[in-house]
Amino acid sequence: MQKLSPPQVGSLILLVILSFFGAQAAKAAVDLEEGWEYRWGDSPFTEDGIPEWTQVDEPDQWQAIGFPSNPPGRNGREHVWYRIALPGGEWQEPLLYIFSVDLIVQVWLDGENIYQYGTFDHEGKGRFEGWPWHAIPLPEGFEGKQIYFRVFSDYTDIGLWGEVSIMNRPDLVLFILENSLDALVIAGFSALIALLSLIFALLQTEKKSFGSIALFSLSSALMLLSESQASQLLWESPLAWDYLAAGSYYMLPVAMALLLEQWFSEHRPWLINLVWKIHLVYVVAAIGLALTGAVDLSSTFPPFDALLLASLVTIAVVVVRRFRDLRIEQQVILAAYGIFCSLLVVDMAVAHGFLPWWRVPVSWGTLIFSLAVVLISLWHYARTQQALHQLNLSLEQQVAERTEKAEALARLEQARVRLLTFENEKTRVLNDIIAELQDCITLNQTFPVMARRLPDLCSPLRGRLYQRVDDGRAYVLLTRWGYAGEPESPARIETPDGPPPQNQIPARYSADSGQSWSEWQEDVNGSLCLWINIQSATEGQITMALLFVEVPEEFAGESTDYGAARLFQALSQGLQKIGIALSSIGLREELHKYSYEDALTGLKNRRYFDQLFEHESAVALRSDQPLSLLIVDIDLFKQFNDTHGHEAGDSALKAVADRLARHFRDSDVVCRFGGEEFVIIMAGSSAQAACDKAAELARAIRSMPVEHGGTDLGHVTISVGVASWPECSKSPDSLLGLADRALYRAKAAGRDRVEVSDPGS
């Protein structure tokens, strides 16, 4: 895995949102649940560094196991190998997904180390480097082959953990998000509770329980985030996430014991006080020793789990004795905490192998605790609001409301005038834009027109116009309007995953409408993104430009719904008409391009040469300037094709064409004449200059390697025929035939040479 760039993080957030609203990951996966075998110890290695156990079958040395984790008879051993035959299937980008490994692992297939996590020293050992999930790319033809896992662990568990399955790469991200969605959403909710509790703790310093709730909610949120599989997509640093998970996990009993100590302060709860102090010392000692390298972080979990069980029993004894003395809201919070701790204990039992592996919903315990805090807060808020309601019925507030209504009506009236002005002008401006666009020959000529005229079409709205560049991977700013004195807009928008989403304008008065304009305005957060699309003959629909317009605050009122909807609907329809006009220009431009260009090499074709040569011959006669013509033929090209195949032949043609395009002057014209023949028109060049240029070209081609599919296919040579006017011919029109005969002489003389047409022939 790699660290995500900012645009990729935006795409990840979009995937999370889509999953939250019902998008399910299609887990097209094959779980590896049967056929596992294990072997204690570590394999010796050959001189080539290949484990001998992967080269020799030795079935009597391998034992069957239901799942590759914690085989019987460990007896303090720290090395184990697992293997399984990989099943077949239809895959596009197959990955071997592993939930986790205790502790470090190498993966071998066909005598190759295809994956490694952790560092193995000369004794086959290594330090703990975190508990990430693993995505191991599988090479082609892996079906039916044995895959071997070399595992080292000085932890209580040894082997693979959780789930092992084969799936396609795109399915893996959705699978990870689907399994992490609950934890991420609940972690965010808990973080919000922590923030609010911290604010209340700062505002009401006499109520220290808010600080303890903030600490517990924050620890829960950090634990859920760091233990969720999606955290690895945000930041590829498993050990850092494990440190964060350990610290937040270890702080949970500290926070809860502090809260109970405050609630039971009248009874001097020395036992609760001792619990949180012991746990706080353990947090500092465990994390500190792990950071200094004195111990592995993984080794700090088992002692803590034992300590936590003892602490939970102690807390339960104290709470049961004093439960009736607590207020109702405190009892609710303790009940929620009890549910959370129960799930935590079950998860602990699964982690230590006392229960079969399954995904324990610890996040739901956190959610129940957070909801309990929210419900109690809402209950207190409702009581407070009921008391404040009587204070708000004063004459001063009534006068303020009437004043606000009058000001709102004035703003709405101003907005109505602006909307009517726009509607009266929009049709005329749009027709003018379409007329100017139809006068353009190429798409590049249309962008200055749109940059100049779209502000008029969008008035009175302010906005920005961006043009597509780099084959859609980015958009650059063409113009903006209505932002006088405000900060500059981004000059470039990076879009590696496609353009930003287009806002759909609600049909306010249609039968399917379910959303008001003011509600929609809150959704788009004041900014509207519209696409200007064209239809391409080769690429289909392309978003050539992005139009961002600002939604004014005056449109927030319900009375402007109809006018605002008509304004933006008209703008959207206008952009569709502009897109149709641009599509016509683009298709015409593409048609012109393809009629004169060779599809394989990108050079001009025979049709273009015929027209241009006739023109250049006339110019040469009129200006009395020399004109030279070269015909280039790849030697023994049919034999090259028969030996290496037609795809390799195409690679050779493209390599020669690329060399030709770079070898000649900008004023020279290189065309593909047909098959393996190329022709070059050199206006203003004498026979000697053309011959020298051809000789240089032959030397360059002779030393140029030809590659296909990563394989060096050797070299090719060329034969060149040269003819010049007026040195070799009385008329420029005969140069093609003379150059062709000169080429024939070069072929007959042994190839890989340059021949010039005889003067006067």
The amino acid at residue 378 is L
Distance CA 469, CA 543 (A): 11
E strand or H helix that includes residue 669:
strand 669-674
Q: How far apart are CA 722 and CA 737, in angstroms?
A: 10
Q: Which of 676, 677, 696, 707 is catalytic?
A: 676
CB 750 within 8 A of CB 714: no
Strand pairing class (669-674; 705-708): unpaired
90 tagged catalytic: no
Residues facing 79 on adjacent strands? 152
- Closest CA relative to residue 761, chosen from 734, 733, 722: 734
Contact, 278 vs 307, CB < 8 A? Answer: yes
Measured CA to CA, the distance from residue 139 to residue 304 in angstroms comes to: 42
Q: Is 610 helix (H, G, I), strand (E, B) or coil?
A: helix
3-state secondary structure labels for all residues of 428-439: HHHHHHHHHHHC
CA gap 223, 242 in Å, rounded: 9
Q: Phi-psi category of 239—alpha, beta or left, where left has phi over 0 and alpha has psi -120 to 50?
A: alpha
Q: Which helix (H) or strand (E) holds 636?
A: none
Ranges assigned E (strand) in 46-197: 63-65, 79-85, 94-102, 104-109, 112-117, 134-137, 146-152, 159-168
CA distance 500 to 498: 7
Q: What is the 3-state secondary structure (H, E, C) of 272-318?
A: HHHHHHHHHHHHHHHHHHHHHCCCCHHHHHHHHHHHHHHHHHHHHHH
- Which of 153, 34, 178, 36 has the alpha carbon at shortest distance from 100? 153
User: From residue 233, how far is each of 12, 183, 240, 497 by CA, in Å?
Assistant: 8, 14, 13, 16
Residue 492 belongs to what H/E stretch? Answer: strand 492-494
Residues 6+ apart with CB under 8 A from 52: 43, 44, 45, 46
Pairing label, strands 36-40, 718-725: unpaired
**Do residues 220 and 248 make contact, with C-beta atoms less than 8 angstroms apart?**
yes
Q: What's the CA gap between 242 and 229, in Å, rounded?
A: 12
**Residues 335, 372: Cα–Cα separation, whole Å:** 9
Secondary structure (H, E, C), 173-198: HHHHHHHHHHHHHHHHHHHHHHHHHH
- Render 363-376 in DSSP notation, one character per residue: HHHHHHHHHHHHHH
Closest CA to 331 of 418, 263, 242, 234: 263
Residues whose CB falls within 8 Å of the CB of residue 502, separated by 6 or more in sequence, listed in order: 529, 530, 531
Query: Which of the residues are catalytic?
Result: 676
